[in-house]
Amino acid sequence: MSDRLASGAANKGADFLLELRSEEIPARMQAGARAELEKLFRAQLAAAGLEASDLTIWSTPRRLALIARDLPEATAAVSEELKGPRSSAPPQALEGFLRKTGLTQDQLEDRDGVYFAVIDKPGRATAAVLAEAIPAIIRAFSWPKSMRWGKDSASSESLRWVRPLSGIVAIFGEELLPCEVGGIASGYATRGHRFHCPGEITIGSASDYAEKLRACHVIVDHEERQTIIRDGAAKAAADAGLTLVADEGLVIENAGLTEWPVPLLGRFDEAFLEVPPEVIQLTARVNQKYFVVNDAAGRLANGFVCTANIDAVDGGAEIVAGNRKVLAARLSDARFFWEQDRKTTLADHAKRLDRITFHEKLGTVADKVERVAKLAEWLASEGIVPNCDPALARQAAELAKADLVTEMVGEFPELQGLMGGYYARAEGLPDAVADAIRDHYKPVGQGDDVPTAPVTVAVSLADRLDTLAGFFSYEMPPTGSKDPFALRRAALAIIAQIFATGIRIDLAKVIRSAIIELGNQPVKKRRESDPLFARFFDKIWPEFPEAPVEGLVTKRSAELKRTQPDLQPYFDQYAGYFVEQMGEPIIRHKKTLPTLLDFFADRLKVQQREAGVRHDLIDAVFALGGEDDLVRLLARVKALQAFMATDDGTNLLAGYKRAANILKQAGKDTVIPAKAGIADDGAPTMAAPAFAGATAVDQALLAALDTAELAASAAVTEERFTDAMAALASLRAPIDAFFDGVMVNDPDEAVRAYRLGLLARFTGAVHGVADFSKIEG
Question: Tens digits of per-residue pLDDT, 162-196?
Answer: 999 999 999 999 999 999 998 899 999 999 999 99
- 89 close to 81: Cβ distance less than 8 angstroms: no
**In 63-175, which ranges are continuous DSSP H helix?**
91-101, 126-140
**281-295, 446-460, 600-614, range with the lowest pLDDT:** 600-614
The average confidence (pLDDT) of the chain is 87
**63-67, 570-574, 581-585, 646-650, range with the lowest pLDDT:** 581-585
Question: Residue 76 pLDDT more than 50?
Answer: yes
- 16 close to 171: Cβ distance less than 8 angstroms: yes
Q: Who contacts 397 (Cβ-Cβ below 8 Å, separation ≥6)?
A: 369, 372, 373, 375, 376, 377, 436, 458, 459, 462, 463
pLDDT of residue 468: 95
Q: What distance in Å separates the CA atoms of residue 385 and residue 388, rounded to the nearest whole number?
A: 6
pLDDT of residue 481: 85
CA-derived radius of gyration, the chain: 38
Q: Who contacts 334 (Cβ-Cβ below 8 Å, separation ≥6)?
A: 272, 275, 279, 280, 283, 408, 411
Closest CA to 430 of 346, 368, 349, 503: 346
Question: Residue 585 pLDDT more than 60?
Answer: no
Residue 451: CB atoms within 10 Å: 22
Q: What is the crossing angle of helices 487-501 and 454-473, to 10°?
A: 150
pLDDT band at 2 (very low <50, low <70, confident <90, very high): very low
| pLDDT tens per residue across span 603-629 | 888 888 888 888 888 888 888 777 778
DSSP 599-618: HHHHHHHHHHHHTT--HHHH
Q: What distance in Å separates the CA atoms of residue 210 and residue 199, rounded to the nearest whole number?
A: 16
User: What residue type is 336 in one-letter code?
Assistant: F
pLDDT of residue 5: 34
Q: What distance in Å separates the CA atoms of residue 295 and residue 11, rounded to the nearest whole number?
A: 61
Residue 756: CB atoms within 10 Å: 24
| pLDDT tens per residue across span 223-249 | 999 999 999 999 999 999 999 999 999
pLDDT band at 301 (very low <50, low <70, confident <90, very high): very high
Residue 752: CB atoms within 10 Å: 18
The angle formed by the CA atoms of residues 756, 760 and 761, to the nearest 5 degrees, is: 115
Q: Answer with the residue of higher pLDDT: 334 or 745.
A: 334
| pLDDT tens per residue across span 495-542 | 999 989 989 888 888 998 888 888 777 777 777 777 777 776 676 666
Long-range contacts of 436-443 (CB under 8 A, 24+ apart): 436/392, 436/393, 436/396, 436/397, 436/400, 436/460, 437/346, 437/396, 437/399, 437/400, 437/402, 437/403, 440/396, 440/400, 441/416, 441/417, 442/493, 443/493, 443/496, 443/497
- 660 close to 763: Cβ distance less than 8 angstroms: yes
**In 79-205, which ranges are continuous DSSP H helix?**
91-101, 126-140
* Rounded alpha-carbon distances, angstroms, from residue 222 to 31, 60, 179, 259, 425: 10, 7, 27, 9, 44
Sheet holding 262-267, edge to edge: 243-244, 291-294, 300-308, 262-267
87-102 average pLDDT score: 87
Question: Residue 22 pLDDT more than 60?
Answer: yes
pLDDT of residue 355: 94
Closest CA to 163 of 21, 17, 309, 32: 21
Q: What distance in Å separates the CA atoms of residue 493 and residue 460, rounded to the nearest whole number?
A: 9
pLDDT of residue 215: 95
Q: What distance in Å separates the CA atoms of residue 690 and residue 693, rounded to the nearest whole number?
A: 9
Question: Residue 674 pLDDT more than 50?
Answer: no
What is the 8-class DSSP label of residue 402? G
pLDDT of residue 581: 56
pLDDT of residue 659: 87
DSSP 627-643: --BHHHHHHHHHHHHHH
Residue 406: CB atoms within 10 Å: 23
pTM for the structure as a whole: 0.78
Output phi, psi for 541, to 5 deg.
-130, 60
Question: Residue 671 pLDDT more than 50?
Answer: no
Residue 56, class by beta-carbon neighbours within 10 Å (0-12 exposed, 13-18 middle, 19+ buried)?
middle
- Sign of the dihedral defined by the CA atoms of residues 251, 257, 258, 263, in that order: negative
pLDDT of residue 443: 93
571-599 average pLDDT score: 66
Q: What distance in Å separates the CA atoms of residue 394 and residue 459, rounded to the nearest whole number?
A: 8
Q: Answer with the residue of higher pLDDT: 639 or 121.
A: 639
Question: Residue 70 pLDDT more than 80?
Answer: yes
pLDDT of residue 608: 84
